[in-house]
Amino acid sequence: MRPSPLKPLLERCVERESARLQAAVAAAARPDAGVTPPLKPAVAWMPYGPESAEDCVAIAADLGSPAAEYAAIRRGCGLLDGVHRGTLVVEGADRAGFLQRMVTQDLKAIGAGEVRESFWLNRKGRVQADLLIAEFGDRMLVDLDRFAAAAVAKELGGFLFSEDCRVIDATDAWGRVSLHGAAALPLLVACGMAAGSLETDLACVQATLRGEPAWLARRDQAGVPGVEVLVPADRLSTLFEAVLEAGAALGVPVRPVGWHAWNVARVEAGTPLFLVDFGREALPHETGLLTRRVSFRKGCYLGQEVVARMESLGKPKQRLVAVRIEEDRLPVSGSEVTLPSGEAVGAITSSSPAPMLGSACIALAMVRFAAGEPGTRLRVAAEGDWATAVVQPRLRFLPGGDR
């Protein structure tokens, strides 16, 4: 399992937090303070990627306090290690025109500072990658799952002929961290980003953060402002420390967060993930992301005939939906979903207790199309029993937003 480049830094952060807690206990001057067991939170690492252990990367599941990490996302800013993400660099004067003919989103009029969400499909119309495409004026940077990057770069390159365009898998050359929380933008301004930048979702900007070049793209995945920050790989730790220092200077609650805390926030916000909530056999109409990823006003692209035919037919065989569990029982990924009669109709893909909903149990599920109508009551296997799940009108559980 490949370690994260931020592993030493994240472990130091946890050690510092442990020392701070110890000092707080001692300062309380309780009679038993001297015999209080040492508080030793640690980073819990988990594999991300293929089943083969040697091909996976290690991501932080939590850094000793998932509840505090989640609170940072909702009240200040959480810093998430981006080792599980990949980066493509697309260069050349014909880059927008080339990708316009390849991906599902309309890029014809994309300009510097603009971002588009899109799918890369195969000829059968199946999703091969979920893309965030950011135009910086001299290049495009494409964010996608780390384990899709090499294949997508190779496949796109195979369609190049005489175009002035190059597609480069730069995953290992770029370091990545994402900021999630209301304080994300003030923190980046404190680090050197121009005030007024990234005020809206799906925007990007190049900046100098504490003297280092950085490329930033805003994408709100957790129900709060979210910013992907890319820097040369050897400058990643410096950037991470700079954001933490800016938080301390501003008095903002900012801390590194693990996958578990971020997962709670993104499920609340109704953000499906490629290779988690839908995979390479999914059609765009099944993902719950059709309106955000696919344009029906552009010309041909790979897999378009299948997408257009599905649009005209009106419904796929299955679809991703959000369900709220009525009982206090949390299903896990893969848990069976049935009709009240017991007929199997799908499975849970992600789940979480929702702090913003009074700790109600919520989930995303891929179910048969007819079973995905809002208000439909389903049964879900949860904690050794069956629970009642109600299909929600949209993927997002939080108020506001468009998911």
Domains in the chain: boundaries: 44-316, 317-398
Mean pLDDT of the chain: 93
The closest alpha carbon to 226, from 185, 261, 260, belongs to 185
| pLDDT per position as a tens digit, 53-95 | 678 999 999 999 999 999 999 999 999 999 999 999 999 999 9
List Cβ neighbours of 50 (8 Å cut-off, separation of 6 or more).
56, 147
Dist. CA 70–CA 262, nearest whole Å:
7
Of 37-41, 256-260, 282-286, 372-376, which range is least confident? 37-41
Dist. CA 259–CA 13, nearest whole Å:
16
CB 87 within 8 A of CB 141: yes
Check residue 32 and give its pLDDT: 59
Residues in the chain: 403
Query: Any alpha helices (H) in 162-270, and if so which ranges?
Result: 184-191, 236-250, 259-268
Check residue 28 and give its pLDDT: 63
Mean pLDDT of 305-328: 94
pLDDT at 19 over 90: no
Rounded to two decimals, the pTM is 0.93
The DSSP call for residue 278 is: B
Mean pLDDT of 216-240: 96
- Homologous superfamily of 44-316 in CATH? Probable tRNA modification gtpase trme; domain 1 (3.30.1360.120)
List Cβ neighbours of 23 (8 Å cut-off, separation of 6 or more).
none
393-395-397-402 Cα dihedral, nearest 10 degrees: -90
Dist. CA 133–CA 63, nearest whole Å:
30
- Please give the full DSSP string across 324-341, using - where no structure is assigned: EESSS----TT-EEE-TT
Tokens representing 292?
A: 């955000």
Confidence of residue 151 (pLDDT cuts 50, 70, 90): very high
Check residue 53 and give its pLDDT: 67
Q: Using alpha carbons only, what angle is made at residue 378 by residues 284 and 384, rounded to the nearest 5 degrees?
A: 110
Q: For residue 234, how far is the Cα from the chain centroid?
A: 23
Tokens representing 182?
A: 């209301």
The closest alpha carbon to 60, from 50, 48, 52, 76, belongs to 48
Dist. CA 235–CA 8, nearest whole Å:
14
For 196-232, b/e burial (b = at least 16 CB within 10 A) is ebbeeebbbbbbebbebebbbbbbbbbbbbbbbbbbe
Antiparallel, parallel or unpaired: β 344-354 and 360-368: antiparallel
- Homologous superfamily of 317-398 in CATH? Aminomethyltransferase beta-barrel domains (2.40.30.110)
Check residue 314 and give its pLDDT: 76
The closest alpha carbon to 186, from 227, 232, 219, 223, belongs to 227
Max CA distance (Å), the chain: 78
Confidence of residue 343 (pLDDT cuts 50, 70, 90): very high
Tokens representing 341?
A: 């009669």
